[in-house]
Chains A and B, each alone.
Chain A
Amino acid sequence: DTGVSQDPRHKITKRGQNVTFRCDPISEHNRLYWYRQTLGQGPEFLTYFQNEAQLEKSRLLSDRFSAERPKGSFSTLEIQRTEQGDSAMYLCASSLGAGVGYGYTFGSGTRLTVV
């Protein structure tokens, strides 16, 4: 499968614990995006990278969230001191470039449940 891969598919954690998710984009895609989707809502933008540079972070991304893409390939999203409000589906997407001509390819997501 040469699509976008996300790991793990599901994560259950206790409130206050740290969690880390991984995203492997399509290999030739230089842009990588993180979105979050809560129940009944559409995906909401969190942050994105061009190669290894993190170009923008949403206001939704509190100080407890950090994302990296160290070598411009895979990316990790870490949430520290998880809260119940962090429970959501975390989606990763990649694209070959920016703008309307470049479609996003989404991964299957990581479903986080904070208990």
Chain B
Amino acid sequence: AQRVTQPEKLLSVFKGAPVELKCNYSYSGSPELFWYVQYSRQRLQLLLRHISRESIKGFTADLNKGETSFHLKKPFAQEEDSAMYYCALLYSTDKLIFGTGTRLQVFP
């Protein structure tokens, strides 16, 4: 069955430190993966999708099919990166399955 696992509920770093938010998935087909972010008091919004191979707000994520991972990385964290981050897998073309999320806290 399809599943998305985010093993860390909370990740705390200091400003300027590197960040890696972990995401592992289980899916029998070809995975389409996303990272969504929710800033305080704001709605859930798309951060990036693996197919675009893009960097948004300094974040990147590489799909590793061998390790079934899609970790989110940023070399230098900023205070404004503090938010809830969700990894999501698209299945059956239409539906997203989300992980439980990781709260990133960036201290000054």
Contacts and interface: CB of A to CB of B under 8 A. Distances in A.
Interface string B31-52: 0101000000001111001010
Given A56-B94, A107-B43, A42 B49 contact: no
A100 B49 contact: yes
A66 B99 CA distance: 26
A45 B95 CA distance: 7
Nearest to A50: B94
Contact of A98 (B4, B49, B94, B98): B94
Contacts, number: 53
**Chain B facing A: main interface SS:** strand
A44 B44 contact: no
A41 B32 contact: no
A99 B32 CA distance: 9
A43 B44 contact: yes
Given A45-B96, A48-B95, A100 B44 contact: no
B98 A55 contact: no
B90 A100 contact: yes
B93 A99 contact: yes
